[in-house]
Structure 1
Amino acid sequence: MKNILTAIGQQTRAFQRHWLSYFSLFVSVDLVIQLIVIPLFRLATTVILQAAQIPFISYQNVVIIARHHPLVVVALLVELICLLLVVDLQFAAVLLGIRDISREMFTVRGLVREIWQTLRRLRPSSLLVLMVYFILVIPFADLVYRTPLLAKIQVPQFILDYLTRNGLLLTATVTFYIILTFLGLRLVWALPLMVYQRLRPRAAFRQSWQRTQGRRWLAVALRLLTIGFLAVLVMAAFYALVIGAQWLLDFLPQPVAALFANINLLIIQLGSELVTTWTGVVTVSLLFLPLTTTAPVTASPRLAAKGRRAFAGLILVVLVVVAAAGNGLYLSTSQHHRPVTISHRGVAEENGVQNTLPALKRTHRLHPDYVELDVHETKDQQFVVLHDENLKELAGVNKTPRQLTLKQLTRLTVHENGHQAKLASFTTYLRTADRLHQKLLVEIKPTPADSPGMVKRFVDRYGTDLIQHHALVHSLDYGVVEQLKRLEPRLPVMYIQPYNFTYPNTAANGYSMEYSTLTYDFITLAHLQGKRVYAWTVNEPAIMMQMMYKNADGIITDNLAELNRQIATYEDQRSYARQLLNYILVVPTNTEFAP
């Protein structure tokens, strides 16, 4: 450990000599990705889908797209290839830039020339290898350089929740991540070998595997963990200092406190990016720079130094302008609005059995804006309030709703959270909610066994009443969404999305989006089209606050009382220190310069 700390200290002193150049390199790559590359990819995807009149991409329609729109599949595959190339090139830019700066031979023109040479050496057969490589090294790539593109690749939280629901799935998930971590550590040298020694991917993989034989991969892991731990300590101390200063400044008159809040938020962003730069440079210098065997083709040291200063000045100006614009919006009280509160499955803090009348009545006392519930069709073409497609977990009956009549279903007793209750028909549930003046968010849950006229029958029976009581309807099945809007255009209908692939162009009035992939950009684009966005299922206080700062229109939760507390905190805009703390804890990663 002492040797590692000594080596980190040496690399830190080397970093100090050229910190501004390193900082400019990392920020410039991030800005290019955020301001140019990501918007271009999003625009390309939108143009491709709109040209083929495809409203969205999801697991529901991917087979249909492949079967009926082969040109769209080809175009999206080309886009995926371009994305892989961009990810490869941005890592190459960072690796080559660090090497050239450390040698005091960096120029923008020289870096661009070397990146172009790296691109020319790639072959079609290399792309699949690169895809596998980036999947394996994403956790370690975050330590070296948290690229905005790779940061968007994540497993939705509801899938992780499902995988950890029982012992077998949890064991399989943990085992998978252990194997992934081990392989990532063994192959962590592959890309630097491709960039510095111009090796082909397969040769780089073999050499990286050889370099980490025995217990040498543990040494790599220890160095990465040590650097990461030191970065966290530095960031924590830095954040505490800035937040403490703003807490004192909040006692000044509001305009002065607001001015300093904007300044301090910019300091937080610059400081975060500086620590990120230090982490990346020290890691690359410690692990990968010894691999360098080729000399960069650049200008003279004097010309290089002059170019670095001009480049750094330009990047700082762009960064400050971009960050300041976003910060002004973030700290402006006019941007803050209260999201509607939605009780998931009609329960709050486990106060009853989901989707039952006793839980509805108890939850209503907490004054949610909406109570969310689920509806299935029964054997006799009625509608029962129930989420699961099988009754075994709640009622101990291994049957589906479509196998029983409504009368049989409403005789069943369901158990959950230490409570028990009878299943309710949707007619009874709706009548009870109307009497309580409680608005509903109704999820229609279709199955392959449903009758052909299920949606029409639902609209004919309940459409007018739902409209009169300002209810909303949503569904995971886009076919249901389209039918609802066609049969009753006045009924507000939302499309449920479990993953944010791209911004869809649908007939829905809005979207219910799984929170872990829901972005500020998605919400902003939806608002520009007059569509609302609800986040589900948000149970943690920090995530609740994050969704509010992303301007989500509504939050679906199991913990309604906690959501009400977080909203009260959010609406208290007198404390800029609290807003800065929320930015650090819950607003996007430090590679983004605006919330």
Structure 2
Amino acid sequence: MMKQTLTAVWRQTHEFKRHWVSYLTLFVSVDLLIQLIWIPIFRAVTTLVLQAAEIPFISYQNVLMIARHHPLVMVALLAELACLLLVVYVQFAAVLLGVRDISREIISVRVLLRELGQALRRLRPGSLLVLAIYFILVIPFADLVYRTPLLAKVQVPQFILDYLTRNALLLTATVVLYGILVFLGLRLIWTLPLMVYQRQRLRPALRQSWRQTRGRSCWALAMQLLTIGLLAALVMAGFYVLVIGAQWLADFLPQPMAALLANVNLLVIQLGSELVTSWTGMVTVSLLFLAPGEHTPAASPRVATRGQRVVVGLAFAALIATAAVGNSLYLSDSQYHHPVTISHRGVAEQNGVQNTIPALKRTHRLHPDYVELDVHETKDRQFVVLHDENLKALAGVDRTPRQLTLKQLTQLTVRENGHRAKLASFSDYLRTANRLHQKLLVEIKPSPADSPDMVDRFVARYGDDLVKHHALVHSLDYGVVEAVKRRDPRQTVLYIQPYNFTYPNTAANGYSMEYSTLTTDFITLAHLQGKRVYAWTVNDPSVMMQMMYKNADGIITDNLAELNREIADYEEHRSYARRLLNYILVVPTATEFTP
């Protein structure tokens, strides 16, 4: 099976070489239309709809509220979702039709647009929900054909995955569920090609795809996809090794020659990546979905006119020039951004029990810019430093902070990471931090059992002290964010977001964003409004570097010493070869020319 697949890939590679410019133009054009036109349009429409209804943001916290109190907004957002699905459908159809047309030597934008119009007219409105489920199922395989920027945003936040892997039962259930989804994705992968090539409706295409992939056919399909994926990865890795090796030698040359070659090599990396991506997509579509007769040149092939070739040439020249400007900025020292370092829950490398004073003292020796901690209200309306909603995990007591007084809570011993300590009142924790000259990032964690004036009392009691010692406040509850700003506008308050749905328009001074869905666009828009963005919870060295390249203002981590090493390492070893390697490994630009 593998030998047959490799032979077929080699045959399709020869076909790719004949029209590589056309294939590259197809994939790059579809990608740029999505990134430069459709994504900005969807973002602008969402922003306008929310602003018109005076809704500051969308999150899992307020979706039901929007549905109940703003039905027209919900209708508008659902209509936007339907349009997004249509765009995803059209871009995949464009790739499938474009590959077929080029293989038949029909190279005409007009023909492709006419075919896309026909494919779109065959799609029924009632099929959109089924189509959405289909796209989710085939995302792992769709990335092999064409990594769409829209579907790339559909991902599970990392903190949820971390939670699922902590429990053996949950991990087993997750693996089983993922296996089922992969199996269903394989069985239904033919649906879209059948709709596009054979002009079938959605439901008949689903049924035929299920029939075509039963038994050994499903296994053969999986092996073909795996072989193509591994081959593409090997080609890309070999290409990267050659370019990085060349730059390593170039770094020994004097300036400005080393910098000039670095710019050239980065552009080679971008163009080469696009070329390999186009080759992978063409080979996959041709090998899996095109019947042998589909490769036969048309009786009256249409080639690009001289004017069309000139337009394409000018567009690529402009794209390369734009990329060159972005590359020079990326490689310059002026682009380096030193992030604020923030110790998550006041611990570093498991040096103590989270949110306790002994851990604070040890962590302070690593010189974090901020120590992050969590605050709950107690039964007697005081404030205790604690993250969990229940004391069972740390103290072995099946009670909530709201069920005990502060005196009872501070008598409890909590255990973690081989350490033990007493719970601390926020007053004691704040007093210790002030004595150490350690700035704090305070997360207020409300619960339904809290007193109605909890936030007001907290700000009245500690507001002056927090401002005096340059502390920050953040919360997952936007009501808390608004209440703190309303009670004391001097406070610097961040709104914590576990998922990047869209750019919010809030009263917050900035955002603490879960890192796996945090984008450069979000950070740039926040900076344009004078707001800061902190990434949480970043424990992997490569992700730390990624957040620095994205210009995150701060990084919240459990591994503060590791973060300090990554920052120091970047500052001390800024060779051009290292920067190119970082671009490949940690800057997510697989489908972009500019960093």
Q: How far apart, CA to CA, are the structure 2 residues paired with 1:523 and 1:277?
A: 30
Deviations, residues 431-469 of structure 1 (Å, cap 9, x unaligned): 000000000000000000000110011001100000000
- How do residues 86-97 of structure 1 correspond to structure 2 at under 5 angstroms? 86-97=87-98
1:290 aligns with 2:296: no
Deviations, residues 192-245 of structure 1 (Å, cap 9, x unaligned): 000000000001111111111112111001000001101111111110111111
Q: How far apart, CA to CA, are the structure 1 residues paired with 2:208 and 2:282?
A: 23
- How do residues 336-355 of structure 1 correspond to structure 2 at under 5 angstroms? 336-355=336-355
Contact 2:104 2:296 in 1 (8 A): no
1:266 aligns with 2:249: no
Match of 1:132 in 2: 133
1:516 aligns with 2:478: no
- How do residues 2-81 of structure 1 correspond to structure 2 at under 5 angstroms? 2-81=3-82
Q: CA deviation at 1:322?
A: 3.3
**3-state SS in 1 of match to 2:496:** strand
Q: CA deviation at 1:20?
A: 1.1
Match of 1:152 in 2: 153
Q: CA deviation at 1:15?
A: 1.1
Deviations, residues 37-80 of structure 1 (Å, cap 9, x unaligned): 11111111111111111100011111111111111111111110
Q: How far apart, CA to CA, are the structure 2 residues paired with 1:522 and 1:571?
A: 25
Match of 2:281 in 1: 280
Q: How far apart, CA to CA, are the structure 2 residues paired with 1:346 and 1:176?
A: 36
Match of 2:195 in 1: 194
Contact 2:100 2:295 in 1 (8 A): no
Match of 2:491 in 1: 491
Q: How far apart, CA to CA, are the structure 2 residues paired with 1:200 and 1:406?
A: 65
Query: Residue type matched to 2:286 in 1?
Result: S
Match of 2:326 in 1: 326
Q: Which runs of 4+ in 1 moved over 4 A?
A: 291-296, 305-308
Q: How far apart, CA to CA, are the structure 1 residues paired with 2:292 and 2:193?
A: 8
Contact 1:343 1:560 in 2 (8 A): yes
**3-state SS in 2 of match to 1:301:** coil
Q: How far apart, CA to CA, are the structure 2 residues paired with 1:277 and 1:305?
A: 22
Q: CA deviation at 1:122?
A: 1.2
Q: How far apart, CA to CA, are the structure 1 residues paired with 2:451 and 2:43?
A: 38
Contact 1:24 1:311 in 2 (8 A): no
Q: CA deviation at 1:311?
A: 5.5
Q: How far apart, CA to CA, are the structure 1 residues paired with 2:458 and 2:299?
A: 73
- How do residues 214-229 of structure 1 correspond to structure 2 at under 5 angstroms? 214-229=215-230
Q: CA deviation at 1:249?
A: 1.3
Q: How far apart, CA to CA, are the structure 2 residues paired with 1:318 and 1:168?
A: 53
Match of 1:104 in 2: 105
Contact 1:146 1:591 in 2 (8 A): yes
Q: Which stretch of structure 1 is more off in the superposition, 309-318 or 71-80?
A: 309-318
Contact 1:24 1:315 in 2 (8 A): no
Query: Residue type matched to 1:321 in 2?
Result: A
Q: CA deviation at 1:116?
A: 1.2
Contact 1:55 1:506 in 2 (8 A): yes
Match of 2:249 in 1: 248
Match of 1:335 in 2: 335
Q: CA deviation at 1:125?
A: 1.3
Task: Give unpaired runs (5+ residues) of structure 1.
Answer: none
**3-state SS in 2 of match to 1:373:** strand
Contact 2:463 2:491 in 1 (8 A): yes
Q: How far apart, CA to CA, are the structure 1 residues paired with 2:150 and 2:63?
A: 23
Query: Residue type matched to 1:488 in 2?
Result: D
Q: Which stretch of structure 1 is more off in the superposition, 448-457 or 6-15?
A: 6-15
Q: CA deviation at 1:123?
A: 1.0
Q: How far apart, CA to CA, are the structure 2 residues paired with 1:502 and 1:93?
A: 27
Match of 2:205 in 1: 204
Q: CA deviation at 1:14?
A: 1.2
Q: CA deviation at 1:556?
A: 0.2
Q: CA deviation at 1:145?
A: 0.8
Q: Quick one: structure 1 residues 175 and 157, their matched pair in 2 at CA, closer, same or farther if it must change by over 3 Å?
A: same
1:213 aligns with 2:214: yes
Match of 2:427 in 1: 427
Match of 1:372 in 2: 372
Q: Which stretch of structure 1 is more off in the superposition, 237-246 or 321-330?
A: 321-330
Deviations, residues 153-183 of structure 1 (Å, cap 9, x unaligned): 1110001111111011001100110000000
Q: How far apart, CA to CA, are the structure 2 residues paired with 1:558 and 1:578?
A: 26
Q: CA deviation at 1:589?
A: 3.5
Q: CA deviation at 1:318?
A: 3.7
Q: Quick one: structure 1 residues 460 and 507, their matched pair in 2 at CA, closer, same or farther if it must change by over 3 Å?
A: same
Q: CA deviation at 1:326?
A: 2.3
Query: Residue type matched to 1:187 in 2?
Result: L
**3-state SS in 2 of match to 1:353:** coil
Contact 1:148 1:592 in 2 (8 A): no
Contact 1:20 1:312 in 2 (8 A): no
Q: CA deviation at 1:254?
A: 3.1
Q: How far apart, CA to CA, are the structure 2 residues paired with 1:315 and 1:219?
A: 40
Match of 2:83 in 1: 82
Q: How far apart, CA to CA, are the structure 1 residues paired with 2:568 and 2:338?
A: 9
Q: CA deviation at 1:307?
A: 6.8
Q: Which stretch of structure 1 is more off in the superposition, 258-267 or 81-90?
A: 258-267
**3-state SS in 2 of match to 1:342:** strand
Query: Residue type matched to 1:501 in 2?
Result: F
- How do residues 539-578 of structure 1 correspond to structure 2 at under 5 angstroms? 539-572=539-572, 574-578=574-578
Q: Which stretch of structure 1 is more off in the superposition, 285-294 or 400-409?
A: 285-294
Deviations, residues 459-480 of structure 1 (Å, cap 9, x unaligned): 0110000000000000000000
Q: CA deviation at 1:253?
A: 2.6
Q: How far apart, CA to CA, are the structure 2 residues paired with 1:253 and 1:471?
A: 46
Q: How far apart, CA to CA, are the structure 2 residues paired with 1:505 and 1:399?
A: 37
TM-score for both structures, normalised by structure 1: 0.98
Q: Which stretch of structure 1 is more off in the superposition, 314-323 or 462-471?
A: 314-323
Q: CA deviation at 1:17?
A: 0.9
Deviations, residues 270-303 of structure 1 (Å, cap 9, x unaligned): 101111111110010001111877999x995364
Q: How far apart, CA to CA, are the structure 2 residues paired with 1:399 and 1:37?
A: 50
1:584 aligns with 2:584: yes
Contact 2:103 2:295 in 1 (8 A): no
Q: How far apart, CA to CA, are the structure 2 residues paired with 1:39 and 1:287?
A: 33
Q: Quick one: structure 1 residues 204 and 123, their matched pair in 2 at CA, closer, same or farther if it must change by over 3 Å?
A: same
Match of 2:236 in 1: 235
Match of 1:404 in 2: 404
Query: Residue type matched to 1:58 in 2?
Result: S
Deviations, residues 121-152 of structure 1 (Å, cap 9, x unaligned): 11111211211110100000001111111111
Contact 1:197 1:292 in 2 (8 A): no
**3-state SS in 1 of match to 2:134:** helix
Contact 2:104 2:294 in 1 (8 A): no
Q: How far apart, CA to CA, are the structure 1 residues paired with 2:15 and 2:299?
A: 21
Deviations, residues 57-105 of structure 1 (Å, cap 9, x unaligned): 0111111111111111111111101100000000010010100100111
Contact 1:341 1:370 in 2 (8 A): yes
Q: In angstroms, what is the RMSD of aligned CA positions?
A: 1.6
**3-state SS in 1 of match to 2:291:** helix
Match of 2:417 in 1: 417
Q: CA deviation at 1:325?
A: 3.0
Q: CA deviation at 1:306?
A: 4.7
Q: CA deviation at 1:573?
A: 6.2
Contact 1:197 1:294 in 2 (8 A): no
Q: Quick one: structure 1 residues 341 and 299, their matched pair in 2 at CA, closer, same or farther if it must change by over 3 Å?
A: farther
Q: Which stretch of structure 1 is more off in the superposition, 320-329 or 97-106?
A: 320-329
Q: Which stretch of structure 1 is more off in the superposition, 527-536 or 114-123?
A: 114-123
Task: Give unpaired runs (5+ residues) of structure 2.
Answer: none
Match of 2:442 in 1: 442
